[in-house]
Amino acid sequence: MNVPRVNIAYHQLLFEYYNVPQFMYDRLLEASSIGQFFNAEIRNAYPCNPI
């Protein structure tokens, strides 16, 4: 199951990420550092658009 959209604010810009699996979203919310987790696991792994 995928989360429909994940919105991430990055350097004062807002991006919408698509096709992020639910388990990855859950891991993001549980991460001790959301920024480090985002950079390592989501940023370049899933399609996104600025919004």
Domain boundaries defined on the chain: 2-50
Q: What is the pLDDT of residues 7-33, one digit of tens each?
A: 888 778 899 999 999 999 999 999 999
pLDDT at 12: 83
**Nearest of 27, 23, 20, 25 to residue 45 by alpha carbon:** 20
Helices (H), 1-51: 22-30, 34-37
Residue 34's pLDDT band, with cuts at 50, 70 and 90, is: very high
- Mean pLDDT, rounded, for 31-51: 95
Q: Let me know if 26 is exposed, middle or buried by CB neighbors in 10 A (0-12, 13-18, 19+).
A: exposed
Query: What does the block give as tokens for 10?
Result: 């990055």
Quick one: how far is CA 25 from the chain centroid? 7
Rg for the chain, CA atoms, rounded = 10
